[in-house]
Amino acid sequence: MTGIQATEYTFFSIIFLCGVTGNTLVCLVISQTPRMRTTRNFLLVNLAVSDLMVALLCIPFDITLKVTHPVWPLGAAMCKLLWPAMTLFTNCSAATLAAISYDRWVWKFYDQRFCNDFQNNFVLVFAGLKYKLSF
């Protein structure tokens, strides 16, 4: 193993541990604190779940692929399941970030009464369509 590979695996490990711990804590805090259960925070939980799944699905299997390159040791079925799932969750993270940005923009530039009604409807529609559109 070269120094670059050791550094790469160290960074993968740090990112994995921070990603799993941080996103799990975000989900727990928002779910356990009643005043944190707002529509805006629903988007943050959505982002945390997507990022948690990215950390759990992408990083371990990327390391496996780097160690065993060019052979995929987990079989054809796992390959057919894993790559679409990785694509789904990375697209969901990106779509959630776009939705959060749009929600903040609407909140800043429009009347607050409009924002509350719009926000609730927007988040419900977004949550329903996001996973469908990610594929």
- Residue 17 is encoded by which pair of tokens? 């541990």
Task: Read off the amino acid at residue 129.
Answer: L
Cα radius of gyration (the chain)? 18
Tens-level pLDDT at each residue, the chain (135 residues): 789 989 999 999 999 999 999 999 999 999 999 999 887 888 899 999 999 999 999 999 988 888 888 888 888 999 899 989 999 889 889 888 988 888 787 777 766 665 566 666 666 666 666 656 655
So what's the pLDDT on residue 99? 84
Closest CA to 15 of 58, 68, 73: 58
**37 DSSP 8-state letter:** -
| Spatial distance between the Cα atoms of 74 and 106, rounded to a whole number of angstroms | 46
Query: What is the span of the domain harbouring residue 77?
Result: 3-134
In the chain, what is the straight-line distance between the N-terminal and C-terminal CA atoms, in Å? 37
So what's the pLDDT on residue 132? 62
So what's the pLDDT on residue 118? 61
Burial of 9 (0-12, 13-18, 19+ CB in 10 A): middle
Element (H, E) at 82: helix 75-109
pTM above 0.85, yes or no: no
Task: Read off the amino acid at residue 37.
Answer: R
Domain with 10 in it: what CATH number? Answer: 1.20.1070.10
Q: How many structural domains comprise the chain?
A: 1
